[in-house]
Amino acid sequence: MNIGKDAENQARKYLEQQGLKFVTQNVRYSFGELDLIMRDGKQWVFVEVKFRSGNKFGGALHALSQAQMQRIRQAAACYLQQHKIDAPCRFDLVGINQQQIDWVRGAF
């Protein structure tokens, strides 16, 4: 059982229920990974998924470091360039704590 993969699938399903369209997931580069790539209308959405079994140390929503945000931005820029995408984008965070899903649009 892969908890991270399960959390990403749970986040994907939740975001699809909110009207976002799935593009791909687990895009890996040597310097970083994009958990989910979705579309919200014309906007590309790069989603970081964080799972925590409890709320210690602030829970899932507080588990994203500045360094991680920088790597995600770099990976997103690379993805957009590789796919020749010139469109608005944003970075969202989905935190999952014990079956609770928190979605932060434009988290960073």
User: From CA 31, how far away is CA 41, in angstroms rounded?
Assistant: 28
SS3 label, residue 47: strand
Which residues span the domain enclosing 18? 3-104
Pair of tokens at residue 43: 């906007």
Convert the pLDDT of each residue in 65-81 to its tens digit.
Answer: 899 999 999 999 999 99
What is the pTM for the complete model shown?
Answer: 0.89
CATH code, domain with 97: 3.40.1350.10
Residues of the chain where predicted confidence (pLDDT) is lower than 70: 1, 53-62
Count of structural domains within the chain: 1
Joined together, the tokens standing for residue 12 give 């994907």
CA dist., res. 38 & res. 60, Å (int): 20
